[in-house]
Amino acid sequence: MTNSETKGPLPRQDAAHLPGMLQGLRVIEVADETGEYVGLTLAGLGAEVIKMEALSGAPTRHIGPFLDDVPGPERSLHFWNYNRGKRSVVAELDTPEGAADLRRLLASADILVDASGGAVARALGVEPKAIAALFPGLIAARITPFGDHGPWKDHKASDLVHLALGGIMMNCGYDPDPARHYDLPPIAPQLWHAYHIAGDQAVVGILAALIHRLHTGEGQDIGLAIHDAVSKNTELDVMSWVMRHAPLYRQTCRHAIENPTHVPSIGHTKDGRWYIAAGVSVRDQTNLVPYLAKYGMQADLAMPGPEADTRARNVPGSGASDEGKAHVSEIVQRFIRSYRYETMPWREAQDAGLLWAPLRKPQENVADVHWQTRGTFAEIEHPEHGRSFHYPVSRWLSTETNWQAGRRAPLLGEDTDAVLATAKPRVAKQPARPRAATAPKLSGWGKPFPLQGVRIFDFSWFLASAGGTRFAAALGADVIKVEWKANPDTRLAAMSPVGGREARRAATAPLKGVTDSDMGGQFNNKNSGKSGLSLNIRHPKGLEIARRLIAQSDVVAEGFSPGVLQRLGLGYDKLTELRPDMIYVQQSGMGGVGTYGRFRTIGPVAAAFAGTSEMSGLPEPAMPAGWGYSFLDWIGAYSFATAILGALYHRDVTGKGQWIDSSQCESGIFLGGVPVLDWSANGRIWSRIGNRSPYKPAAPHGAYRCAGTDRWIAIACFDQADWQALARAAGHPGWLADPRFATLESRLLHQDALDAAVTQWTVGQDAYAAMEALQKAGVAAGVCQNAEDRCERDPQLAALNWFTEVTGTKIGRWPVTELPMKLAATPPYSGGLIDRGAPGYGEDNARILGEMLGYSAEQVAALAEEGVL
């Protein structure tokens, strides 16, 4: 399907005149690398973002890479990337004049993004949680490493330490040896992903607070702990542990799994590049054998027999799980090895229905016609250098709004006079679409929901789309999840144990799971708070029911391949006939507009194509370690939720709905701005660096083996004080006398020897004891935690109430993860409006059809008999 064949939202060149979703809002940002991504995203959504900096500039102006490799506060490509579209105001907050400027700007603002480590609160003379109350209607979003309370609240952190403590590193890395001993450390995916993960979830919380304020006038405090957000970003490990006491083990560039194999789902070309060939189910093999046979490369593979179940689905990206499937993967790798990277016929494989894609480097997407058509990248002019540079600037296309590329990052203080001269107290907006006056339903926390009164007709599935509507349900939207038995969502993962909750409480080893598809723990976690409707929309009566229910809904959300709903008569033009201000948000792997059309994509395939898989791992010639779970499923889910909430806010302000064409892969590309910019500015192609810190100099910086089986600790020393504190805490004053380690510069030159010295100490240490000793000394350090650690041992997550107990009709009462954004006035609640876990298949048919359409119990039963329900 080409762009000319796709009737979708406008490509960027035709949509540049459209506003952003948050046009007219003002954001004050006081942040370092932990929060700048939030401001970048809000600027992309159309808000005016004013960055307050000290006279010496934000610390991120000193993070590399630099233009022409010449350091300087106006030459940091890191700063350029994360501060595009913002304005710079200089003020020393610890002076009376600076504090006064801060107050004036906050009085004019809608949103505060505060990742200042308490500097804003100190300047205002209040506790951090009290900032919002000083300025009527202000939404104060505070991003902290570990939260406001709890035993770790004052611990030091870094991107590496967050990825370790949050469980991501223990899901990512390389296969164990044949004895299942890990001879290499877990690997932190690069680059700045802890802050991307936390930032995307913070944006969702801010949008929910904006919607609430629009209808009530009430601002509020939002607290988000990066540790909390990151700990919820892994995919299967938490629910596998919660439900079945089953640990998962990392594998090379594929999903962590209970029983690891030694057959990666990526294959090596003859010229040293990589391709992913995901999918080893019976359905995949039905497509694979004839494809390979065209090239005479099918070896001994045969078509599945007539008794094989071609409907069965594996967990996406989980790879080979037995010797038979491993053999299939090895034959595919043999095929890949016979080609060069440029000549591998992966497009033909895609046309044959196979989940194949190249592992691209980030900059290789810039010249791709598909992304050019979608306006994924833009050239931003830097007049001071007489050049333009490439940036990723968009995550979706839409009919009424547009991502704003903005100008280049501000020069230090260049907007100070203009901004301060025009700062006026904020004027409250009035909604163009008032909410119905109904008594608010209180959540499980006894407070109102921010999205109450919003209904979403939800065709999402897997995680990339279903995870997004899960956010909406926890924020109070009435989400009706629609499934049909011929093509159901993935329900069979992290199953409830035989024996239920009592068996789990007594478990000392992995438990056997049930096979009932209504009792999947992973499905429960990503669909809690939703109602369930089974509906065959290919049946005329089913289509008519869908139309009538959609007419009473605010949003239609779907995660199908592009064009599916259009072919069934539920395209955007038909939806607006049912409701003129309809919001239609679709998410596919590559997006509907463009040259890839029905490109088959799951999280690992999107990560391969976006560049995130190739970026992580040991330096070449080692294999990419990639991600040990569908990272871009979660990033896609955050983007999907952002699109839904942003469109709801825009409609409430303007009265206009819209069609949004969102791309899971595009959301991943958006995260690769620094390597793309480094390539554009310096001609440098990203090279993997393992666990080292490429741009913010640090040494030691890595994961170090501790006592016990597969136990590791992440340590990050960014300056001389950190290093001296580490040497003292480790009881190795001799390190300080070693000339190789005398300065940060010399330590960076001798990192292999430095890592060996640190490992000699850590290998005899209990990981948690070492962490506490180092944190007490002021060193950023954190255990590489697995799911068991986070669920059973992590006192900070417990203090932050990272789980909420919900009751499913069949599965019973189990914990699911709670959204990490702590909205003071309207906190999310994972049980949603209905205060329940995920729905059983079609569980709410009678209630939905009875309450919304007036069907009797007899009519519902008759529809079930006809194959409509």
Which residues are part of the catalytic machinery? 633
Strand order in the sheet with 555-558: 396-398, 658-663, 583-588, 555-558, 455-459, 478-483, 531-534
Q: Which residues pair with 49 in a beta bridge?
A: 27, 86
Listing DSSP states for 30-97 in one string gives: EESTTTHHHHHHHHHTT-EEEEEE-TT--GGGG-S-BGGG---TT-BHHHHHHTTTEEEEE--TTSHH
Please state the φ and ψ torsions of residue 144, each to the nearest 5 degrees.
Answer: -125, 160
Pairwise CA distance, residues 658 & 660, whole Å: 6
Of the candidates 473, 527, 466, which has an alpha carbon nearest to the alpha carbon of residue 239?
A: 527
For the range 725-730, what are the long-range contacts, defined as Cβ-Cβ under 8 Å and sequence gap of 24 or more? 725/774, 725/777, 725/778, 725/779, 726/700, 726/758, 726/774, 726/777, 726/779, 728/777, 729/773, 729/774, 729/776, 729/777, 729/779, 730/758, 730/761
Pairwise CA distance, residues 381 & 394, whole Å: 17
Q: How many CA atoms lie within 13 A of 807 on its CB side?
A: 4
Scanning 125-262, the segments in alpha helix (DSSP H) are: 131-134, 159-165, 168-171, 193-216, 226-231, 237-244
Strands 780-783 and 712-716: antiparallel
Listing DSSP states for 335-379 in one string gives: HHHTS-TTT--HHHHHHTT-EEEE---GGGGTT-HHHHHHT-EEE
Buried b (16+ CB within 10 A) or exposed e, 295-307: eeebbebeebeee
> Mapping DSSP to helix (H, G, I), strand (E, B) and coil, where does residue 169 land?
helix
Residue bearing tokens 């025009």: 422
For the range 748-752, what are the long-range contacts, defined as Cβ-Cβ under 8 Å and sequence gap of 24 or more? 748/697, 748/699, 751/692, 751/699, 751/700
Strands 780-783 and 254-257: unpaired
Please provide the size of the chain in residues: 869
Instruction: Give the pair of three-digit tokens for residue 809.
Output: 């009709």
What radius of gyration do the chain's Cα atoms show?
Answer: 26
Q: DSSP label at 385?
A: G
Q: Is-contact 151 165, C-beta < 8 A? A: no
Q: How many CA atoms lie within 13 A of 809 on its CB side?
A: 14
Q: Residue 440 corresponds to which amino acid?
A: P
Q: Say how far residue 43 (Cα) sits from the centre of its chain.
A: 19
Pairwise CA distance, residues 46 & 44, whole Å: 5
> Mapping DSSP to helix (H, G, I), strand (E, B) and coil, where does residue 284 land?
helix
Pairwise CA distance, residues 396 & 374, whole Å: 8
Q: Is-contact 409 80, C-beta < 8 A? A: yes
Q: DSSP label at 543?
A: H
Q: How far apart are the first and last CA of the chain?
A: 32
Give the Å distances, CA to CA, from 588 to 105, 435, 561. Answer: 40, 31, 6
Helix (H) or strand (E) holding 267: strand 266-268
Strand order in the sheet with 274-278: 266-268, 274-278, 355-358
